[in-house]
Chain A
Amino acid sequence: MIFYEYEARRIVEAAGIPVTRYGFCQTPEEARKIAEEIGGPTVIKSQVLTGGRMKAGGVKFADTPDEAAQYAEEILKLEINGHMPVGVLVDPKAEVKQEYYASVVWDSTAKKPLMLFSDMGGIDIEQVAEEHPDHVGRGHISNLLPVGDYEAKQVIAATGVTGSQLNRATPILAKLARLFREKDMILAEINPLAELTDGTFVALDAHMEMEAEAEGRQKQLLRKDLGIAEEDTRDSYVPSEFEKNVKEIDAADHRGVIQGKDHGFEGNLGLVIGAGGGSLTLTDAVRNQGGKPANYSEIGGNPSVAKACGLAKEVLKKDGVEKIAVMMSIVSNTRVDIVARGVIKACLELGKDPAETIAIFRIPGAWEDEGNKILDYYGVEYCDRSVSLWDAAGRAVAKIQEGAGA
């Protein structure tokens, strides 16, 4: 889940990291009031879940409360990259001496959080890392052991920062690392982290992203501290009927797990795929061999027949879907016969012939022989682990292309 800047600021603030005296509002009048309370020049920032705010005119500098209200009115009506703002953030214009960058990101290769710090803040960290690699400090932290301030200090010191700047920035990065772990973030970024002319450090902007699977155990933060409604999924697009239906089917039964996405897919080959990275590999394998997937999906964790059937039915009901490919990497706990029953039942319930509709069935693993008996009975083409994911995807693509050429 992605957070708006004003929410990210609250998270940062609650972790004990200094922030400016900002205010979030949804009307020009409220913006005027906040600007009056701040009592000086302000920055009015659009609250949207997309980048490029400055370029689009979503960030403006106001010298007076009247100007703040006027800019707030303009920004509240301004659509940026298809997103309308949920409000504006009114921030004092800070007297900045130097801008720094501080973040903690999930390193999926090392499977640990990674602290990053740079003394060149305010710009993209990727650009700094490429053009000035010696200005980026890095250091992993443990997933379990407490985060020590010395770990943050090492990362900052690697960029050449010393003295009082090092001492003031250290607890900020350490607190950011702790909140990253405690709040199940996959990104916790402060950019810029500003050193003001009086020598103090404040977070001028923050970006937070939480692991979607952690939402259940972060209810205190999401529902109570930030007041985010349960139905506010922060999806970057409106979910399709297919996506909503698959989600409902999954939620209705605790056994196994299914997911389905079709945003951006308009093909004729439905995919019922999964297992240990199998979905991504198989989607690529279909596409790279000229196939046109109608959807993306994930199925695993030994779902019930009803759940496998439900997913396959939703895929088959999509406009333009001619056949489905049922493919997984080698499965351990997911039963092959149960998935076979599910997908065949989906075909039958929709009045389709499983032998014609299922282009290929490749799920090697638990109860494979039993699954093969079912597939044999209904005349569905299947293959075992001696056929690679790539080749299985290729067979499905060839079959649907043959059909189109006939």
Chain B
Amino acid sequence: MSNETMDGVFIDIELDEPAASDPELAKKLEEVCTVGIFKATESGTEIIAGQLDECVLCYLCEQAAPEGSLRIIKKYEDQ
């Protein structure tokens, strides 16, 4: 029986360039996300895969990012 943990079973997040490499946006995303999905680094935004399924669908990240550059994907919905 498997006992491993799986990341991003339900939720995925797509962040386009150049927004993904913007350190200022990275800080903003880290600040608005209440469940720690984003980590600000010098080179931009790192998405923490292990936290994706904790997304509470508040969409604050989408609002913080330039329009259309960040998308929350619900894997259980037909795209």
The answer to whether A350 touches B9, judged by C-beta atoms less than 8 angstroms apart, is no
A377 interface residue, CB < 8 Å from B?
A: yes
CA distance A349 to B53 in the complex (A): 13
Q: A304-B54, A306-B54, A345-B53 are in contact. Are A350 and B1 (CB under 8 A)?
A: yes
Give the number of residue pairs across the A-B interface with Cβ within 8 Å. 42
Contact B76 A373 (CB under 8 A): yes
Cβ B54 vs Cβ A370 within 8 A: no
Smallest CB separation, A336 vs chain B (Å): 12
B43 interface contact, C-beta 8 A? no
Contact between B1 and A341 (Cβ–Cβ < 8 Å)? no
Given contacts A349-B6, A350-B2, A351-B2, contact A305 B53 (CB under 8 A): yes
Q: A335 with B56: in contact, given A350-B3, A351-B2 (CB under 8 Å)?
A: yes
Docked complex: B45-79 residues within 8 A CB-CB of A? 53-54, 56-57, 74, 76-77
**Which residues of A in the span 335-369 have a Cβ within 8 Å of any Cβ on B?**
335, 337-338, 341, 344-345, 348-351
User: Nearest-CB distance from A205 to chain B (Å)?
Assistant: 50
Size of chain B's interface in residues, with CB distance under 8 A?
A: 16
Please determine whether B57 and A370 come into contact, CB atoms closer than 8 angstroms. yes
Query: A313 vs B3: C-alpha distance in the bound complex, in angstroms?
Result: 9
Q: Taking the complex as formed, is A374 at the interface, i.e. its CB lies under 8 A from any CB of chain B? A: yes
> Could you jot down 30 A-B contacts, CB within 8 Å?
A305-B54, A306-B53, A306-B54, A313-B3, A317-B3, A335-B56, A337-B57, A338-B56, A341-B9, A341-B10, A341-B53, A345-B6, A345-B9, A345-B10, A345-B53, A349-B2, A349-B3, A349-B4, A350-B2, A350-B3, A351-B1, A351-B2, A370-B57, A373-B74, A373-B76, A374-B10, A374-B76, A376-B76, A377-B77, A378-B76
- On A, residues with C-beta under 8 Å from B are 304-306, 313, 317, 335, 337-338, 341, 344-345, 348-351, 370, 373-374, 376-378
> A335-B56, A337-B57, A349-B4 provided; 20 other pairs, C-beta below 8 A?
A304-B54, A305-B53, A305-B54, A306-B53, A306-B54, A338-B56, A341-B10, A341-B53, A344-B9, A345-B6, A348-B6, A349-B5, A349-B6, A350-B1, A350-B3, A351-B1, A351-B2, A373-B74, A374-B76, A377-B76
